[in-house]
Chain A
Amino acid sequence: MASAVLVNEVGLHARPSVKLTQTAKRFAAKLEVALADDGPWVDAKSPVKIMRVKAPKGATLHFRGAGPDARVAVRELVSLVERKFGEE
């Protein structure tokens, strides 16, 4: 499990949500996101569910994964958030 603070201006709006799910889909692992470390956990590969999290700037996103490539996947997702989704 790992976490990252949303530092991009718009938070987890449409475009960042698409990027997050696209990144998650590159991995075989089951990957989940939550606003708190005790959940509720949301499928990181579902753009609809990720957008419904409506996480604003400053929120902490928690990631967890299960599967052979889960560690790499979680690291990639944290990096994506920290890099402001490559947008700013």
Chain B
Amino acid sequence: MANVGIVIVSHSSKVAEGAADMVRQMVGTTVPVAHTGGNPDGGLGTAVDGILTAIDRAWSDAGVAILVDLGGAETNSEMAIEMLPAARQARVVVCNAPVVEGAVMAATESSGGATLDAVKRAAEELMAN
């Protein structure tokens, strides 16, 4: 069975790209990873279209966990999920976790073949004491 995919959404394309690099170098390439961030002018921002494309690139039948940074990254990710075909909607979640550390933790959990719920919990464990 395929591993849960990871999508990284940051207002900064550099943060998103760097976090994805960290996942690939620390966890390996058995986990599908995609990233998106920034606006077309090179400024800060997130876009629903870009998030939808990233979900598609990281797609796995086991589901996709999205890591976001601030405000719009989260609301745009939720909008993107609502725009997905119904069959996919239930298999995509936004994690309540810091974007870089959460992405590495989620991907580590995913690399062991964990379920989407377990991947989300691993990322969110960072918020627990």
CB within 8 Å of B: which residues of A? 14-15, 18, 21-22, 25-26, 45-49
Q: Is the CB of A45 within 8 A of B104?
A: no
Could you list 16 further interchain pairs (A-B, Cβ under 8 angstroms) beyond the known A25-B113, A46-B122? A14-B26, A14-B104, A15-B26, A18-B27, A22-B27, A22-B111, A22-B112, A25-B111, A25-B112, A25-B114, A46-B125, A47-B104, A47-B105, A47-B108, A48-B126, A49-B125
Interface residues of chain A: helix, strand, loop or mixed (majority): helix
CB within 8 Å of A: which residues of B? 26-27, 104-105, 108-109, 111-114, 122, 125-126
Q: Is the CB of A48 within 8 A of B112?
A: no
Interface residues of chain B: helix, strand, loop or mixed (majority): helix
Q: How many A-B residue pairs have CB under 8 A?
A: 31
Q: Is the CB of B112 within 8 A of A47?
A: no
| C-alpha gap A81/B105 in the complex (Å) | 20
Contacts of B108 in A (CB 8 A): 18, 21-22, 47
| Most chain B Cβ neighbours within 10 Å, of A14, A18, A21, A26 | A18
